[in-house]
Chain A
Amino acid sequence: MNHELEILLVEDNPADAELTMHALRKHRLANHIVHVEDGQAALDYFFGEGRDVPVQSTVVLLDLKLPKVGGMEVLRQLRADERTKLVPVVVLTSSREDQDVMETYQLGANSYIVKPVDFENFSAAVNNMGLYWMLLSVPTNQTP
């Protein structure tokens, strides 16, 4: 499988971001992680000047509380655009009881992960989305 899995982590809390990346790195997904710290940067990642993101192999890990543009708004814009309509989005939340989680489903989120994001949580969420091929593809890509 030649798909390169790219993970866009949208997280403003540096500790959370580090923990997440650490967990993913342990499972050798770190090379494919792009970390941005606010919603605007996330939108720029997709719609910025001269950008052409391989939408089919990108997963967005999206925190909801973000500076500049909120996670909810980011999700709305992604779903509103033809190019990014089908990008898998996993919402990051600090509580499974969060009201916002339900709202993000209505906006078209694919799954959610309660922080801290560790590999088990991540793979469960990815499985939920039916994107386990992404994980399967990892070892081949990572094999030197």
Chain B
Amino acid sequence: MILFPNLPIRYKLRVAFLGTILVALLLACSAFVIYDMITFRRSLVNNLTVLADALGNNSTAALRFAGETEGAKTDAEETLQALAFKPSVVSSCLYTADGKLFAGYTKDQTLAGFPVAPGADGARFEGKYLTLVRPVVLSGKRIGSIYLKSTQEELIQHFRSYAVISGLVFLGVSLLAFGLSTALRHLILRPILNLADATQRITDHKDYSVRVQEITRDEMGMLAHAFNEMLESIQERESALHAVNEALSESEERLNFALEKSHTGGWEFDLEGRSMRRTLEHDRIFGYDSLLPQWTYEMFLEHVLPEDRPEVDRGFREAIKTKKEWGFECRIRRSDGEVRWIWGVCEYQRDEGGLKESMAGIVQDITTRKQAEEEILELNASLEERVRERTSQLAAANKELEAFSYSVSHDLRAPLRAVDGFSRMVVEDYSERLDDEGRRMLGVIRSETQRMGRLIDDLLAFSRLGRQEMELLAIDMRGMAQAVFDELAAQEPPERKLKLDLRPLPAVHGTQMMIRQVWVNLIGNAIKFTKGRDVGEIEIGTQTGEDEVPVFYIKDNGAGFDMRFADKLFGVFQRLHSAEEFPGTGVGLALVQRIVQRHGGRVWAEAEVDHGATFYFTIPNANHEPRT
């Protein structure tokens, strides 16, 4: 048990200090007094003994003659009276050897008489008095006893002065000790009080920047140092904690902002307590303006439409069992009776101790989205319907076009045939009746009708291309280009000089007949437009274009063309040269473009008037055919 628990430490310290000193002093004084008393008593007895022995010696004669002479008793009494100078001895007497009182002397007559018998030898303290009995010996033979009775006045006197001195010393030492303790108190107490003060300030103001002054290097100093270090680490932790708290509250604020702005409700369902914590938005989604006092899983289920309820309940229980994330969509009936779609996702959670299990999640009103989805579905359905309609319209249009092509090829060509055929008959059968001019004119009629026939053929070929089935096969481009060149070159007059520089070409995937048509038209053009050159030079090769797709090119040293008209190059019936100069229908390059495009490729050209032309095209290897 701690004494004086409420007493300030400085008083305790003083009490301890003074107490220790005074107790020590008291003990010391007591020891001294006791010792002194004992020695003083002993010396008192000794002195009395010496006196008794001296008196005894002086009384031997008287005692020897005791009973024999009257004078002996008087002598003895005289001897005893000599004690008058010794104030402390109040009475004395002599006894004979047989123990009879012989002579006596007393200072105070009021005192009781002498003892009848001397008693045993030795000193005895009896009340206020000290009595002593000594033998009186003569020549080694006991002849009587002497009895002395002395007051202890001397002893008491001695003791009194001792007490006075002790009291003075006690007082002096106490004063000194009090002064010293006051002085020393500072030494010990200051660090402690500093510490206490700092603690008080920290407790009152939560100010961990306070530091204790480290005055000494003793245990107190160590304590102060440790205290400071502790404060330091607390302060660090405090500021770290503060920063974390700040960040936490900021992120929470942001989360809440996001949840609120996205109209997302948050909830956490304690699996043990069966209670649910929610955000305000959560309850709003279910149609409540303010947070309900309580919310349970059963309340949630009641809001879910009966049709959706079993599925939701099953999913939720499954999620708890499998401890997995679970997302759901269902319809609820809000408190105002309106049916809304909600979406939610939640996850099983367990706190670090593994004790608290919960499901936490979010919930959102997705009615608007659902409506939009439904609208989209409807739109899609009607769109598909429209696509079907358009497709069948397109198919009908295609059929019409086919029929048209058929009738063009049959009906349009029939009169042409007649014109050409009959002109020919005239030339063959009636030429002798015609002059040169007539024959020339007929020649013009024939060549023009033949040209028109070619135009119709080309046009039909061009329109047919769109309907032709694609059949992608690997094509040896180099072999095909060589074969086409050989074929076309063979049709040229023998005096024409053509030089082909055919570089290695990669294979492509394409429709054989179509790609061949590309080569026919491009090589044919190159041959045609180099007609004016001494040697028609044609170079065929590849460059690497973007996306690693090879770019085929065919370059000639022919007439070239003006790049200003490059955009007209691939249009149907577009010609950059007169028919007289270079015959043609203006369909060839349109056909090339159409084929290349159907293969997902691109075609373009670069040229300069009189400096040849270069045509480029790509045939990507994947099936890029655009849907038609």
Contact = CB atoms under 8 A, between A and B. Distances in A.
B422 A15 contact: yes
B214 interface: no
Task: Give the interface centre of B410, B425, B461 by most chain A CB atoms within 10 Å.
Answer: B410
A116 interface: yes
B409 interface: yes
A83 B422 CA distance: 38
A95 B457 contact: yes
List 7 A-B pairs, minimum CB-CB distance, nearest first: A15-B418, A19-B421, A95-B409, A94-B413, A116-B417, A116-B421, A94-B410
Given A94-B414, A97-B409, A115-B417, 4 more contacts: A16-B417, A94-B413, A99-B406, A116-B421
Given A94-B413, A95-B409, A95-B413, A15 B464 contact: no
Contact of B417 (A15, A26, A65): A15
Contacts of A116: 417, 420-421
B460 interface: yes
Contacts of A15: 414-415, 417-418, 421-422
Given A13-B414, A94-B413, A94-B417, A19 B425 contact: yes
26 contacts: A13-B418, A15-B414, A15-B415, A15-B417, A15-B418, A15-B421, A15-B422, A16-B418, A19-B418, A19-B421, A22-B421, A65-B410, A94-B409, A94-B410, A94-B414, A95-B409, A95-B410, A95-B457, A97-B409, A97-B457, A97-B464, A98-B406, A99-B406, A115-B417, A116-B420, A116-B421
Interface string A109-128: 00000011000000000000
Q: Is chain A's binding surface mostly helix, strand, loop or mixed?
A: loop
A97 to B, nearest CB: 6
Interface string B428-454: 100000000000000000000000000
A19 B406 CA distance: 22
Interface in B575-619: none
A89 B401 CA distance: 30
Interface of A: 13, 15-16, 19, 22, 26, 65, 94-95, 97-99, 115-116
Contacts of A65: 410
Contacts of A99: 406
Nearest to A100: B406
A115 B413 CA distance: 9
Contacts, number: 44
B413 A19 contact: no
A94 B456 CA distance: 11
A94 B413 CA distance: 7
A27 to B, nearest CB: 12
Contacts of B414: 13, 15-16, 94
Interface residues of B, number: 17
A13 B412 CA distance: 13
Contact of B409 (A22, A26, A98): A98
Contacts of A98: 406, 409
A95 B454 CA distance: 11
B557 to A, nearest CB: 34
Nearest to A19: B421
B460 A97 contact: yes
Contacts of B460: 95, 97
A22 B425 contact: yes
Contacts of A22: 421, 425
Nearest to B418: A15
A97 B422 CA distance: 25
A26 B418 CA distance: 17
A28 B461 CA distance: 36
B417 A97 contact: no
Contacts of B422: 15, 19
Contacts of B415: 15
B301 to A, nearest CB: 69
A28 to B, nearest CB: 15
Given A19-B425, A22-B425, A65-B410, A97 B418 contact: no
Contacts of A97: 409, 457, 460-461, 464
A22 B414 CA distance: 16
A13 B457 CA distance: 20
Contacts of B413: 94-95, 115
Nearest to A20: B421
Contacts of B461: 97
Contacts of B420: 116
B453 to A, nearest CB: 10
B417 A19 contact: yes
B397 to A, nearest CB: 18
A19 B414 CA distance: 11
B572 to A, nearest CB: 18
B81 to A, nearest CB: 189
A1 to B, nearest CB: 29
Contacts of B457: 95, 97
A44 to B, nearest CB: 25
Nearest to A14: B418
A15 B420 CA distance: 11
Contacts of B406: 98-99
A120 to B, nearest CB: 13
A99 B420 CA distance: 25
A19 B461 CA distance: 26
A15 B418 CA distance: 6
Among A15, A94, A99, find the residue whose CB has the most chain B CB atoms closer than 10 A: A94
A129 to B, nearest CB: 23
Nearest to B428: A26
A104 to B, nearest CB: 14
Interface in B361-419: 406, 409-410, 413-415, 417-418
A19 B418 CA distance: 7
B405 to A, nearest CB: 9
